[in-house]
Structure 1
Amino acid sequence: MIKNKCFFYVTILSLGVALLSGCYGNNESQTTILSKDVLSESGKLNDPIYVTFKEVLDLEPEIDFTDILGVSSKRLLYRKNSQLFQLDLNSQISKNLLAFNPLAISKDLSKALFVDENNLYVYEVQKEASVLIHEDIIDFFDNQIAFIDTMGHYVSYFDNNSLTLKIIDSSNGEIQLIDLEGILNHGSYARPKAHIDGESLYIAMDSQSKLAVYQVNEDGSLIEKLLFPHKEDTILDFQVINGGKQLIFNGVYNKLSGVFLYDLTDASLTRLVSGGKTSEGEWIPSYTISPDESRIAFSLEIEEQGNHETNYYLAGISDARLINTVRIIENENLPAVIAMMAHWAPDSNNLFIKKTAQSGQSRIVEEILIYK
């Protein structure tokens, strides 16, 4: 149990070394290089080194960890009774912002999405004003609507009926239609994931025929950027970073699980963080990238004598490798993966992690851990 408001936390991180040759993507034989800084699936990273400064913010309102939607140094946005509230972190005073259930919050905390009478709106937090961006939304609670850029300029919506992905400009409601019926071929499929890197739109498609990441042209046609050719391959989440030069994703590639960095220029694939196996099966690391794309937070699973714990780490990303890796949480039993438990400050200076009471036995957030 953390008792002090702030303290120094000292840890040592041992990094594994791995090298692998294999084939993938674009119908060419390639060499897959695993970074010298790749973290192995261990739970053996227990040798104490790096120092990180941690602050603890006690949270007075009782909020479920899934209802905290975003955090900055001054405020916290959360859902309560299917409405949007803002908590001033200095005064601990809450303010009701929106009398509708927020579907999503942009990473810079400037916008929220909500539906009223099957119409989709963007709520601008600073202006306290709402803008209609799409009419006749269907099945909107089925994880189909999301902001796909940091500042909430664009919203993705997948229409199950027409098998069409709609990219909506949140400022004016203009829509780019991407007809996926031919790719999906009415077979089994997972809903496409979309991301905008500032200039280009990318989608990840897992259909009956193949799994791939595509770049989308203005006319809606697709350019295959990364093919997953192996039967066991999966992709959970992805993001294009470094000015459209690199694609980061977590999943399984050629029977290896982990967090991977794919260079869109030279088609090299680097595994930054390894997954692993426990008695319950294989697990894939969860991760979250800072808004300025310079740092990554990720989690590793640990199994010792049948007990499962999780370690959280912070690292920089440079030249397709991890640098300055530090362990920030050790041997915790938190209720969800780091992608659900952590929030980056919009300026990337702080990482906020929701810590539930009783070491994961409760869903109520007791403290917000702040890492510089």
Structure 2
Amino acid sequence: MNRKLKVLALMALATTLTAGCSLQGNAQSGKNIVIEEDVQLESALSDSSLEVQRLNDIVIEDDIPNTGFYQGDGGENIFYKENGELNHYKISTKEKRKIVEGDNIIVSKNGEKAMTLSSKGKEAVVHNLINGKIDKIDIESPWDTFFIDEEGNEIASFDINENKLQIIKVDSKETREWNISEFDTYSLTSTIKVEDDYYISARSKADGLYGVFKLSENHAVEKVFSAQDKEDQISTFHILKNNNIIFEAMSKEQSGIYLFNQENNEVQQLIAGGKDSEGIWIPTYILSPDESKIMFDTPVKFEGKYKTNVYMGEIIDGKLANTVRILENANLYAVISISGHWSEDSKTAYIVTPRENSEYVGALAVFQVK
């Protein structure tokens, strides 16, 4: 998949809203890196760097399509879709097995549950891949239904005609609803659960601003923070353990990854995006489970083709620090938020690399933080 097109597609999914802070602030460094004549990247690269060792790649000799996600501390498990089926591949034994089949298949982040959605009906079927249990759940739309937690214990379903959002517990079928007709733009993929709270990003009809909102117990929607200008957009976001928010956004025509500090109500740009002859591009990211480290990517033009540089850094006191480039001019099949994976202890990172000129997985690049 063309990396730039993927970034633009992710940004098109953006949805967000309004609150009491402004999306403004400068990148942590004014350093400019010229990628090519028509591309400029402002980066927060620091003088020091994280100590990272690249271990031996885990080579995948079997024909595994670039259509899946990769889970497991040892880079052990690959889930992938092929011919309308979800399959599992165990790297150490090279064992392949079919798990489920269906029109649309979604896998929970921890790889323990899969959901099939019929394009002709309003029913989701959740398969527990550990104990074999199957739950059938009535939903609003087969196209707007996703897992919203890592374990796959809850799903969200959105009825675009009635502007109704449902959050359903898989085991008990307990359902809660919110009317979000006050929003002009909303993407279900931006609905997340953090502990016992739910958050969405969308654009408010009242003031036309994007932001992040919390779904409260009484079926109301509360503002967490908002962009400053109507032209600003927010896409992927995470609520951190300290209640700060990291997110991808466009702010004052500047793309990048930002951090909102709830304590002082300020936004800091961690990583700047860029602009070239084809348009604006936005870096994507993936946080380590302990939220101390981040991997992010930037597109580069190498020998006339778009490639990817991948960086790793630390988040210290709300700032990006100790960044280091771990892949240069890489040919990744997707952005790092899709092709990358952290181990549970946050000490090892895996990046899927495809075979040269092929639709199949080539290897998992392995990086260990010392």
If the TM-score is normalised by the length of the shorter chain, which range does it land in?
0.7 to 0.9
Q: Which residue of 2 aligns with 1:146?
A: 146
Distance change >3 Å, CA 128–CA 319, structure 1 → 2: same
* Residues 209-258 of structure 1 deviation map (CA, whole Å, 9 limit, x = unaligned): 33221111111111111112313211121111124x11111021122210
Shift of 1:168: 1.5
Q: 1:127 aligns with which of 127, 131, 138?
A: 131
When structure 1 is superposed on structure 2, of 287-296 and 220-229 the one drifting more is: 287-296
Amino acid at match of 2:147: F
**Alignment check: 8 A CA contact 1:167 1:176 kept:** yes
**Alignment check: 8 A CA contact 2:256 2:270 kept:** yes
Q: TM-score, normalised by structure 1?
A: 0.81
Amino acid at match of 1:218: E
- Within 5 Å, give how 1:2-151 maps onto structure 2: 26=19, 32-36=25-29, 42-43=34-35, 50-65=51-66, 67-72=67-72, 73=74, 74-100=76-102, 103-115=105-117, 118-132=122-136, 134-138=137-141, 140=142, 142=143, 144-151=144-151
Q: Which residue of 1 aligns with 2:366?
A: 370
**Alignment check: 8 A CA contact 1:109 1:346 kept:** no
Q: Which residue of 1 aligns with 2:3?
A: none
Instruction: Say whether residues 1:200 and 2:197 are aligned partners.
Output: yes
Counterpart-to-counterpart distance in 2, 1:90 and 1:220? 47
Distance change >3 Å, CA 296–CA 26, structure 1 → 2: same
- The answer for unaligned runs of 5 or more in structure 2 is 1-16, 36-40
Distance change >3 Å, CA 136–CA 328, structure 1 → 2: same
Counterpart-to-counterpart distance in 2, 1:102 and 1:344? 26
Amino acid at match of 1:370: V
When structure 1 is superposed on structure 2, of 266-275 and 113-122 the one drifting more is: 113-122
Amino acid at match of 2:223: E
**Alignment check: 8 A CA contact 1:40 1:274 kept:** no
**Alignment check: 8 A CA contact 1:201 1:215 kept:** yes
Shift of 1:120: 0.9
Counterpart-to-counterpart distance in 2, 1:122 and 1:347? 28
Q: Which residue of 1 aligns with 2:156?
A: 156
- The answer for unaligned runs of 5 or more in structure 1 is 1-23
**Alignment check: 8 A CA contact 2:256 2:282 kept:** yes
Q: Which residue of 1 aligns with 2:11?
A: none
Q: Which residue of 1 aligns with 2:12?
A: none
**Alignment check: 8 A CA contact 2:23 2:227 kept:** no
Counterpart-to-counterpart distance in 2, 1:319 and 1:371? 24
Distance change >3 Å, CA 32–CA 285, structure 1 → 2: same
The structure showing larger relative contact order (alpha-carbon pairs under 8 Å, at least 6 residues apart) is 2
**Alignment check: 8 A CA contact 1:39 1:273 kept:** no
What secondary structure sits across from 1:298 in the alignment?
Answer: strand
Distance change >3 Å, CA 171–CA 346, structure 1 → 2: farther
Distance change >3 Å, CA 148–CA 60, structure 1 → 2: same
Counterpart-to-counterpart distance in 1, 2:105 and 2:265? 36
Instruction: Say whether residues 1:229 and 2:225 are aligned partners.
Output: no
Distance change >3 Å, CA 313–CA 167, structure 1 → 2: same
What secondary structure sits across from 1:172 in the alignment?
Answer: coil
Q: TM-score, normalised by structure 2?
A: 0.81
Shift of 1:41: 5.8
Counterpart-to-counterpart distance in 2, 1:255 and 1:285? 14
Q: Which residue of 2 aligns with 1:12?
A: none
* Residues 97-151 of structure 1 deviation map (CA, whole Å, 9 limit, x = unaligned): 223356322222222221255411222121122222x21543x2x3x22222222
Cα RMSD for the two superposed structures: 2.9
Counterpart-to-counterpart distance in 2, 1:99 and 1:307? 36
* Residues 146-166 of structure 1 deviation map (CA, whole Å, 9 limit, x = unaligned): 222222232221111211111
Shift of 1:31: 6.8
Counterpart-to-counterpart distance in 2, 1:97 and 1:306? 41
